[in-house]
Amino acid sequence: MKNIVKAQFFQIVRDKVIKYMVVITLIIQVLMVMLPIWLQNQKPTTAGEFFATNGAMLMEFPIFYIILVTAQICGADFMDKTHNYEVSAGHKRYEVYLGRVIAAAIVGGVGALFFTILPVGIYTALYGWGDKIALAPILLRGLLALLPYLRLVCEFAFVTFIVKNPYVGMGLGYVVFILTMAILSGTTIEVNSVFLGVTNLSLLSMVSKWATYGLGNDMNYIFDASLDAGTIWGTVAASMAFGAVALYLGYVFFKNDDMN
């Protein structure tokens, strides 16, 4: 399986679709920091305040990156029957399957975390972290966010192995994500839960804040980024459980598939 993983990374660094997606995501995440300042002439805040007010967008946008990268890594080889050749060469089906999922988890899941942290890192370099919000809880939130990202990789890999086409996998992934967000925004469904990967990320991005008023009606915010034990362990348990189920179902389907 090690050779399959190495072959996947050899292929990934030469894949134009993934290269384009990395560049596009990088540009968007950087512009997320700079555009509000350039276009709206906003007074720059500290990095802590930036995360507290933009956390949801920072954590949820990389899902688009995960969908494309996972579908491309897990589905592209169906187009030229590479899976068939690897099985014919003596590789076990679980090696062929896990070799791609592992590569998708590293490039997609860990990559998504990098793109989440990047704007905050840029803001910290430009304006400092500040003292209005503690750094440690934000670092914990970032660490925990990796788990829903990896869970989403497993779920979208499952979809891709079923449809056996990277572009169909991307399309279905985007449709499911957009419909989920539309349904949640248009109903009273609890959105701050660990039940869905998207809502779990939303929960991790939510920072409590209170407004205080000083002399001259100057308004200041007080932030609390601490996480309760239920959120922490719920994120761990839900990500592992749903991710493992998707991973297992994807393997069962691939194991019994005729790959035609």
**DSSP readout, 9-42?**
HHHHTT-HHHHHHHHHHHHHHHHHHHHHHHHH-P
Q: Is 256 helix (H, G, I), strand (E, B) or coil?
A: helix
Q: What is the reported pLDDT for 38?
A: 66
What mean pLDDT comes out for the span 181-205? 75
Q: What is the reported pLDDT for 213?
A: 64
Q: What is the reported pLDDT for 242?
A: 96
Q: What is the reported pLDDT for 212?
A: 67
Could you give the angle at the alpha carbon of 198 between the alpha carbons of 195 and 204, nearest 5°? 85
Residue among 245, 247, 232, 223 at smallest CA distance from 45 = 223
Left, alpha or beta for 55 (phi > 0: left; psi -120 to 50: alpha)? Answer: alpha
Could you give the angle at the alpha carbon of 234 between the alpha carbons of 103 and 112, nearest 5°? 30
Can you tell me the distance from the alpha carbon of 8 to that of 74, in angstroms, rounded to the nearest whole number? Answer: 10
Q: What is the reported pLDDT for 182?
A: 75
Buried b / exposed e over 64-101, threshold 16 CB at 10 Å, is bbbbbbbbbbbbbbbeeebbeebeeeebebebbbbbbb
Mean pLDDT of all residues belonging to the chain = 86
Range from 17-21, 190-194, 235-239, 246-250 carrying the lowest mean pLDDT: 190-194
CB 236 within 8 A of CB 79: no
Strongest mean pLDDT among 29-38, 69-78, 212-221, 222-231: 69-78
Q: What is the reported pLDDT for 191?
A: 57
Q: What is the reported pLDDT for 80?
A: 84
Burial class of 28 by CB neighbour count within 10 A (0 to 12, 13 to 18, 19+) = middle
Burial class of 258 by CB neighbour count within 10 A (0 to 12, 13 to 18, 19+) = exposed
pLDDT band at 214 (very low <50, low <70, confident <90, very high): low
Task: Give the residue, 167 or 50, on which the prediction is more confident.
Answer: 167
For 68-126, how does the pLDDT look when each residue is reduced to its tens digit (9 = 90+)? 999 999 999 888 888 878 888 888 899 999 999 999 999 999 999 999 999 999 889 98
Percent above pLDDT 70 for the chain: 88
What mean pLDDT comes out for the span 31-41? 71
